[in-house]
Amino acid sequence: MAEAKGLKKPVKLKTELAAMLGETELPRTEITKKLWEYIKSNKLQTKTENGKAENAGKYIVADSTLLSIFKNTKSTSKSGKLTDLTKMNEGDTINMMQMAAVVGANIEA
């Protein structure tokens, strides 16, 4: 059997994400899938930035569980865009496009 590579290769999770997902290693694709399952099951999406959770939309509302993960995120993309979520509060939102930065910030290098 071939070794998993790229997005399917298991990566080591940082403490907060490992606690939330109940795993110490997962492929990036599974991390994203499990985060979305949590977001959808807890109705943590909204259509407006910093709006109330309404179970639909492109913004993700931080509850106490997600906040501990989001606050680990401070990264610069290849295009130079900074994603700094270190000062977020519960109830604040992120754009769903920031999920890649959140996942990247919560795995061991």
The secondary structure of 18-63 as a DSSP string is HHHHT-SEEEHHHHHHHHHHHHHHTT-EESSTT----S-SSEEE--
Give the pLDDT confidence score for residue 32 in this predicted structure. 94
Q: What is the mean pLDDT of each run of 10 residues along the chain (109 residues)?
A: 74 96 96 96 93 89 96 90 94 93 91
CA 48 to chain centre: 18
* Best CA proximity match to 21, nearest among 5, 8, 39: 39
Give the pLDDT confidence score for residue 45 in this predicted structure. 95
Give the pLDDT confidence score for residue 20 in this predicted structure. 96
Question: What is the reported pTM?
Answer: 0.88
Pairing of strands 59-61, 93-95: antiparallel
What domains can you pick out in the chain, each with its CATH number? 11-105 (1.10.245.10)
CA 95 to chain centre: 11
Give the pLDDT confidence score for residue 64 in this predicted structure. 96
